[in-house]
């Protein structure tokens, strides 16, 4: 697989990474550890060198899974993880926490869980309104100087926060949602990243599965699947948003590709420093996503996609109200 550099950081990763959250958390019961390990190692065999996790995924379970699965080829991969939350005794999030002592504690714990001596990319998971971003950046800068972290990242941060952080410690990558059905980053975020030489790592590049065409208005989700509370996944919204997937399927058919592959190829062609991280629990979906790196979209293809998007209004917010307040700070 082709490599890409995240901004001007010097950090080179595979053009498509693997978002590992869903193997442990968020979309229903955790995947069997042996199956999850096999999928992660298969991704590496197929050229994926960029793996994304977080202490919040489980919590802790996903980092432990990656640490074990990637141990045989740790030096050949880039692992990104995140800090920024407190957790209660039951493993639920109990508020944000990006205080310097918390960041340091999370780094030390993550190093053990990941079975490594350095975190390649350490993201603030969400911007903490109670801790100045300069303190956060300064703490990660110190961890970098100590050799515990290589690169600093932000997630779902607004443009001014990115600038303030970058002035203290260069930001290697921003991880935020971006896809054919969530294009808000194009307004202010992408120009800011380009100006500052920061890479962009879109999560949910397939619209949490919707852009694959495998989800319809009649689909039911597991009781532990967080899409049950996402407005964009209400039955009414799914019915309305089917029009986008139908148009995507038409374009994909002409390309002898799948809707998911076209959606990922579209992201790759936007900027050379964009690296999407689709997640999956299925080997055949992993293969499908990896092959998207070889799908070439012509100017005519892109115009067709743009024309389709212009006539379709995506229905439903991407987060429930209490979570929406945490993004784009």
The sign of the dihedral angle between the CA atoms of 308, 311, 316, 318 is positive
Q: Which two tokens stand for residue 235?
A: 């039955």
Q: What is the pLDDT of residue 113?
A: 98
Q: All domains of the chain, ordered by start, with CATH?
A: 3-324 (3.20.20.100)
The sign of the dihedral angle between the CA atoms of 45, 48, 51, 57 is negative
Cα–Cα distances in angstroms (integers) from residue 146 to residues 150, 268, 306, in the given order: 10, 34, 47
Q: Which residues contact 49 (CB under 8 A, 6 or more apart)?
A: 3, 13, 14, 17, 76, 77, 78
Distance CA 93, CA 40 (A): 26
Per-residue pLDDT reduced to its tens digit, 104-137: 999 999 999 999 999 999 999 999 999 999 999 9
Q: What is the pLDDT of residue 89?
A: 87
In this structure, of 51-55, 88-92, 121-125, 155-159, the range with the lowest mean pLDDT score is 88-92
Beta bridge partners of 85: 96
Judged against a pLDDT cut of 90, whether residue 321 lies above it is answered with no
Judged against a pLDDT cut of 90, whether residue 328 lies above it is answered with no
Judged against a pLDDT cut of 90, whether residue 66 lies above it is answered with yes
User: Does residue 57 have an active-site annotation?
Assistant: yes
Query: Model-level pTM greater than 0.85?
Result: yes
Per-residue pLDDT reduced to its tens digit, 261-313: 999 999 999 999 999 999 999 999 999 999 999 999 999 999 999 998 899 99
| Residue 260 pLDDT grade (very low, low, confident, very high; cuts 50, 70, 90) | very high
Out of 25, 27, 57, 178, pick the active-site residue. Answer: 57
In contact, 14 and 49? CB cutoff 8 Å: yes
């Amino acid at each position: 697989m082709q490599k890409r550099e995240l901004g001007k950081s010097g950090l080179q990763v595979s053009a498509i990474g693997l978002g590992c959250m869903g193997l442990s958390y968020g979309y229903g019961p955790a995947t069997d550890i042996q199956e999850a390990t096999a999928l992660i190692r298969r991704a590496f065999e197929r050229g994926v060198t960029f793996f994304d996790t977080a202490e919040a995924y489980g919590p802790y379970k996903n980092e432990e899974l990656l640490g074990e699965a990637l141990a045989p080829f740790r030096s050949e991969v880039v692992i990104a993880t995140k800090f920024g939350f407190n957790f209660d005794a039951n493993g639920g999030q109990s508020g944000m926490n990006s205080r310097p002592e918390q960041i340091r504690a999370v780094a030390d714990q993550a190093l053990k869980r990941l079975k490594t001596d350095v975190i390649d990319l350490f993201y603030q998971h969400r911007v903490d309104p109670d801790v100045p971003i300069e303190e956060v950046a300064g703490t990660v800068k110190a961890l970098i100087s100590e050799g515990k972290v290589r690169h600093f990242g932000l997630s779902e941060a607004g443009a001014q926060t990115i600038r303030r952080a970058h002035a203290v410690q260069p930001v290697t990558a921003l991880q935020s949602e971006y896809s054919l059905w969530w294009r808000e980053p194009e307004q202010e975020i992408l120009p800011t990243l380009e100006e500052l030489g920061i890479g962009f790592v879109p999560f949910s590049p397939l619209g949490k599965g919707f852009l694959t065409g495998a989800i319809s208005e009649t689909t039911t989700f597991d009781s532990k699947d967080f899409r049950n509370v996402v407005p964009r996944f209400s039955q009414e919204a799914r019915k309305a948003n089917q029009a986008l997937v139908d148009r995507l399927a038409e374009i994909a058919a002409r390309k002898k590709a799948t809707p998911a592959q076209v959606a990922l190829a579209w992201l790759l062609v936007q900027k050379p420093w964009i690296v999407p991280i689709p997640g999956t629990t299925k080997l055949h979906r992993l293969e499908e996503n990896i092959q998207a790196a070889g799908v070439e979209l012509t100017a005519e293809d892109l115009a067709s996609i743009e024309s389709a998007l212009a006539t379709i209004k995506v229905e439903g917010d991407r987060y429930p109200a209490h979570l929406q307040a945490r993004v784009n700070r």
